[in-house]
Amino acid sequence: MKTLVLNLNNSKTIQEVSFLFKQGWETYRRNALPYSLYTLLSSGLMWALSSIPFASSLVFPLYMAGLYTAIKSSEEKEILTLADFLNIEKANFGAIFKVGALTSLLTMIGFIAFIIPGAYAFCSYAFTTPLVLDANNKNLTAWEILEKSRGVFHSNWNLILVMMSSYFLISILALLPLGLGLFISTPFLACVNYSLYKKLK
């Protein structure tokens, strides 16, 4: 048992995962209130629109885009405000909706077909939103964004698989206290995922 623990501690992948989670936590911790408040307000909006077909699925990509926009802003400014979450470039709106719709559709089809294809899609398209917001990708089509994200996964599948499994477990635990933990875990995991994206892009 001691040998197993020692091997895990010395594992490069485990060390990378630990570093990325620490980095993500530090990003979230500095502006915990704005991140969680933005998530709460966005969740309320999606709940209010839940009676309208597909309305919530249109808001969710915007929520994620706002979250990553603020995370990027936090690299240059110490304190975030809610305005930072809404500072999405208008030129990106079309790509945000297209990529969001394609990602949701392919992941849903994957899970309906069988769990493994769904998990593959979930891991492959984990970086689509940061890629859309990246100024270097403005001329890429929605499908090219998805393929670029999938390429990142194929090149780093072992690390990403461990990270995505960790995301899943943390999200399950966050659901236990009546789902209230999601208001912390969702923006926190976005911060972690952005650190992972920056490392691998």
Closest among 157, 98, 94 to 126, alpha carbons compared: 157
CB atoms closer than 10 angstroms to residue 107: 19
Q: Where are the domains of the chain?
A: 23-200
Helices (H), the chain: 2-10, 12-30, 32-48, 55-73, 82-85, 93-113, 115-124, 128-133, 142-155, 157-175, 182-200
User: pLDDT truncated to tens, each residue of the chain (201 aa)?
Assistant: 444 344 445 578 888 999 999 999 999 999 999 999 999 999 999 888 888 877 777 789 999 999 999 999 999 988 999 999 999 988 888 999 899 888 888 888 877 777 778 888 889 999 999 999 998 888 899 999 999 999 999 999 999 999 999 999 999 999 988 888 999 999 999 999 999 999 998
Tally of CB atoms within 10 A around 196: 26
Q: Residue 27 in contact with residue 74, Cβ under 8 Å?
A: yes
Within 10 angstroms of residue 84's Cβ, the number of other Cβ atoms is 19
